[in-house]
Chains A and B, each alone.
Chain A
Amino acid sequence: MNEKGHHPAPLSPVEQRVAALEALLTERGLVPEGFIEEITRRYESEIGPLNGAKVVARAWADPEYRERLLTDGTAAIAELGFGGAEGDHMVVVENTPAVHNVIVCTLCSCYPWPVLGLPPSWYKDPPYRARMVREPRALLAEMGCPLPGDVEIRVWDSSAEVRYLVLPQRPPGTGGLSEGELAGLVTRDSMIGVARL
C-alpha cells in the first residue's frame, strides 16, 4: 500500500464488463459463494498437464492399460481419477514411427481439460487454429517439431463431442525408468502433438 493506493487504477472496459457480469449473476443467485476462487484454484494447481503425463506414463509402462486407453479413452483415464467436465468423451490417438497426431479446435478452444488443464494461449489463437489444418507440416516445423517427409500427420479437430489426447512415443533408452520417472518426461506440448519426446 503506497500513497497512491487511495486511488486505484480505473477499471479497463473489459474489467468493467466482467464486474457487471459478476454483479448480475451473483444477484441472480447463479454464483455460489467462493465458487470462482475454488475453480480458479483447481485449474491453477490441480488440473493440468501432470494428469495427462500420468496417463501417458501408465500406458507406456502397462501394455494392457495402453490397450484400454486406445479402446476407450474416457474409461481408462477415469481409472486414474481424471474426468468430468470438458473431458467426457476422450479419444486417445497414438503416435508411431509412421504416424504423428496433433490436436486443434478450429471453431473455438475445445481441449481435453481434465488431463491437460487450460489450453495455452497459442492454441486459442487464429493462426494455430487455421494453419494446423491447412499446413500442419509447415506449422509444426515452425513450432520446433520438424517431421520427416515420410511421417504421416493426422490432425484431429476437437469438438464438444470429442476431445483428443495424443499418446506420444516412448523415448528410447527409458526401459529402466519407473512410471513416476516416465511421467516426468512427458510434456504438455507432446500431448497436444506439437512436440516429440
Chain B
Amino acid sequence: MSIPLSLLDLDLPRRNGELVFDAPWQSTVFGLAAAVTDNAFGGDREPFRQQLIKAIAAEPARPYWESWTAALEALVETLPERRRP
C-alpha cells in the first residue's frame, strides 16, 4: 500500500503552486509567529489567529504578510513583561 518513492520526482507542490514566500522577511515573520505560538502559548494558535483576523479587518487591502507582521506585533504586546534578572 505504500506510495512509490518515484512520486517524489513529480515535484507537484511547485508545478501547481506559487513561491511560498516572496522575500526572506516573509518567511522570517512566518517562523516568528510559529515560534511564539509554540513557545509562549503552548502551541495554541488561537491568540495569533485572533490578532490576524483583527489586523486583516483593520486594513483589508494591506498585503497579507504585512498584516501578519502587524498581528505578531500586537500579539507580542500581550506577552507578560520579561522578569528582570
Binding site for B on A (CB under 8 A): 14-15, 17-19, 21-22, 24-25, 28-32, 35-37, 39-40, 43-44, 48-50, 53-54, 57, 62, 85-86, 107-110, 117-118, 120-121, 124-126, 160, 178-180, 183-184, 186-189
Contacts and interface: CB of A to CB of B under 8 A. Distances in A.
Given A54-B3, A124-B64, A22 B28 contact: yes
Given A109-B64, A180-B3, A183-B3, 15 more contacts: A14-B25, A18-B32, A18-B69, A21-B72, A25-B35, A29-B39, A35-B35, A36-B35, A39-B34, A40-B30, A43-B20, A48-B13, A49-B16, A49-B17, A50-B12
A40 B53 CA distance: 23
Nearest to A183: B7
Q: Is the interface of B mostly helix, strand, loop or mixed?
A: helix
Given A53-B12, A121-B64, A183-B3, A18 B40 contact: no
B12 to A, nearest CB: 4
A125 B64 contact: yes
Interface in B29-52: 29-32, 34-36, 39-40, 43, 45-46, 49, 52
6 contacts: A31-B39, A35-B31, A48-B12, A48-B13, A183-B12, A186-B12
Contacts of A37: 31
Contacts of B4: 178, 180
Interface of B: 1, 3-4, 6-7, 10, 12-13, 16-18, 20-21, 25, 27-32, 34-36, 39-40, 43, 45-46, 49, 52-53, 56-57, 60-61, 64-66, 69, 72-73, 76, 79, 82
Closest 10 pairs between A and B when the two form their complex, measured CB to CB: A48-B13, A36-B31, A40-B27, A50-B12, A124-B64, A187-B16, A180-B4, A18-B25, A31-B35, A30-B39
A126 B69 contact: no
Query: Which of B6, B12, B53, B57 has most chain A Cβ within 10 Å?
Result: B12
A39 B30 contact: yes
Contacts of A14: 25, 65-66, 69
Given A30-B39, A160-B45, A36 B64 contact: no
Nearest to A118: B20
